[in-house]
Amino acid sequence: MHRSVAAGGPSAADPEWFRTAVLYEVYVRSFGDANNDGTGDLDGITERLDYLAMLGVDGIWLTPFYPSPMADGGYDVADPRAVDPSFGDLAAFDRLVEAAHSHGLAVVVDVVPNHTSDRHEWFTAALAAGPGDPERDRYIFRPGKGADGAEPPNNWPSVFGGPAWHRAADGEWYLHLFAPEQPDLNWANPEVLADLEHTLRFWLDRGVDGFRIDVAHGMAKPADLPDLPEEVIEQQKRWAEMREREDLFAEHDADTPPSEGEGDAVVPSSDLDEAADPRWDNDAVHDIHRAVRRVLDRYPATMAVGEVWVRNDERLGRYVRPDELHQAFNFRLLMAKWNAADLRDAIEKSVASMAASGASPTWVLSNHDVPRHVTRYGGGAQGVRRARAGALLELALPGSAYLWQGDELGLADVDLPDEVLQDPAWERSGHTIRGRDGCRVPLPWSGDVPAFGFNAGTTSWLPQPPEWSALTAARQAEDPASMLSLYRTLLDLRREHPAISGGTVEWYGAPEGAMAFRRPGGLICAVNTGSTPVPLPPGEVLISSVPLAGGQLPSDAAVWLI
Ligand code: NOJ
């Protein structure tokens, strides 16, 4: 197989590099804006690779940069084998891959197989064709119910609010589990898989090291598209109410566990067994992942990580069977409250769900779909303090970690004015759900005023708050006590220290409110989420999230020892 860009990332040394890698999620719109139009672009990433190499990550995951009307931040793809002009072109992509590899960084790109944009040529053709025409069969068109077919074909809600069906001009309805501008593909049509295989090979031939597969638990739907049971609809409503109160993450407790039942954390849908929700985790999805794997197996040292919001551990484990995906995101840590018992439970279940298939666990504290963890952990000084401890926790765990851009700067969500909001959830919810823009504000790089070096100008597609002047990468790089310095040291230790090795965690007894575990290589990580100090476990301190004194681990702090 020809690979146009020589692999020089971590894959060069270890074909299974991803099992322990730290990957950094780059939200292309918000990372670096080389052409100063207010939106990030591929050249803006290439220019900033020194920073990522200095930070010490092993690779980058690029969110979609394909031609898109941006109805859902690029997850509405009009052409999966090209670059949106606002982000650059294929030559810019090739430059980025080559430069990343020469910095020793792997490149993982997003693919979006559950749906396309409504501007994809297939969908334009489907709309132009009539009911029953083969062009319609690439999507999920159905006649409506009721008099004149004026009712949607079933009761499925869309993840972004409202029904999951939109009526075309000729009266048929099409399915969109996300926005109406994101029609769902019909995975029963073999052309759909052939096209995904083509897309995978296209980017592999340009040198990418892997894929992040969007909504990897979606795609396959039962042929009869049965109604959702009433309990699931009720549960959806309860989650919608929680979102309105903006306490989605704060309110979970043992009897109302967070749901990974459906698509996005922005709209988790169900705390019931997801088998009750026919929209997700249909068994037929595994045939698709096997086909993806067959493509990847012809390109040595490449990988796929699925975005899999499935709560049942056994069912989650199925996505990473040896002939399916290499990894599945596991959002338990992200959904856990800041308390030792919840965090430990998340870790135990995550490790167990992957161990059954021999896959490596993945750890995520934040991404472009959820409030940043500084905010979820209480915001302000408390949120930052806990996020520092969270970094020690996440990076001590076996498997791979996926950092969200800005985690390393300790950014919190930004309170944006209504008029700049772009997330489709804002409009679709009738302005009750603000959506995910608050975590997507362009990064502050340098200087004292916006756009803080994101570009050479003063504005960006989402406005940065003036107080980010204290959090720029340039300022933090020179401050040994900064979040950035903490991440650099942790990543350095993780790469170099022999104690940070071995694929399991062995739990230590710990006082109420605290937890401690040991990696087989000898690293001990202790975290105190309680309000009073606890004694440090025995050992030599490698690093701590706050200064230590008197052999104690203070509240909201973590430590690594050997
Ligand atoms: C998951 C992506 O992370 C999210 O941003 C997007 O809105 C949905 N999938 C739909 O593609």
pLDDT of residue 97: 98
Could you tell me the distance, in angstroms and rounded to a whole number, from the CA of residue 559 to the centre of ligand 1? Answer: 34
Q: Which residues contact 317 (CB under 8 A, 6 or more apart)?
A: 353, 354, 356, 357, 359
What confidence tens digit (pLDDT) does each residue in 147-194 have? 999 999 999 999 999 999 999 999 999 999 999 999 999 999 999 999
R_g over Cα of the chain: 23
Choosing from 77, 160, 264, 308 the residue with most ligand 1 atoms within 8 A of its CB, the one to mutate for a pocket test is: 264
**Residue with the nearest Cα to atom 2 of ligand 1?**
214
Atom of ligand 1 nearest to the CA of 264: 1
Return the H-helix or E-strand segment holding 286. Answer: helix 285-296
pLDDT digit string (tens) for 7-18?
A: 445 556 789 999
Residue 262 in this model has a pLDDT that exceeds 80? no
Ligand 1 midpoint to CA 264 (Å):
6
Q: Considering only CA atoms, which residue is closest to atom 6 of ligand 1?
A: 75
Q: How far is the CA of 159 from the centre of ligand 1 (A)?
A: 10
Give the pLDDT of residue 242. Answer: 65
What is the pLDDT at residue 7? 45
To test the ligand 1 pocket, which listed residue (63, 66, 109, 178) has its Cβ within 8 A of the most ligand atoms? 178
From its phi and psi, is residue 505 left (phi > 0), alpha (psi between -120 and 50) or beta? beta
C-alpha of residue 214 to centroid of ligand 1, in Å: 6
Dump strand ranges (E) for 292-380.
303-306, 327-328, 362-364
State yes or no: pLDDT of 251 exceeds 90: no
Q: Exposed (0-12), middle (13-18) or buried (19+): which is 103, by Cβ within 10 Å?
A: middle
pLDDT per residue over 461-504, tens digit each?
999 999 999 999 999 999 999 999 999 999 999 999 999 999 99
Q: Atom 3, ligand 1: which residue's CA is nearest?
A: 369
Tokens representing 147 are: 């008099």
Q: Whose CA is nearest to atom 11 of ligand 1?
A: 75
Looking at residue 258, its pLDDT comes to 36
Active centre residues (catalytic): 214, 307
- The count of other CB atoms within 10 Å of the CB of residue 237 is 10
Residues in the chain: 562
Per-residue pLDDT at 332 exceeds 50? yes
Query: Are the CB atoms for 545 and 486 separated by under 8 Å?
Result: yes
Rounded CA-CA distance 492/43 in Å is: 27
Name the least confident of 3-17, 38-52, 189-203. 3-17
DSSP string, 24-40: EEE-GGGT--TT-SSS-
Can you say whether residue 489 is alpha, beta or left, with left for phi > 0 and alpha for psi between -120 and 50 degrees? alpha
Cα(325) to ligand 1 centroid in Å equals: 18
- CA-closest residue to ligand 1 atom 10: 75
Write down the pLDDT at residue 235. 76
For 409, which DSSP code?
G
User: Confidence band (pLDDT; 50, 70, 90) for 239?
Assistant: low
**What's the whole-number mean pLDDT along residues 521-544?**
97
Ligand 1 environment, Cβ below 6 A:
72, 75, 112, 178, 214-215, 263-264, 307, 368-369
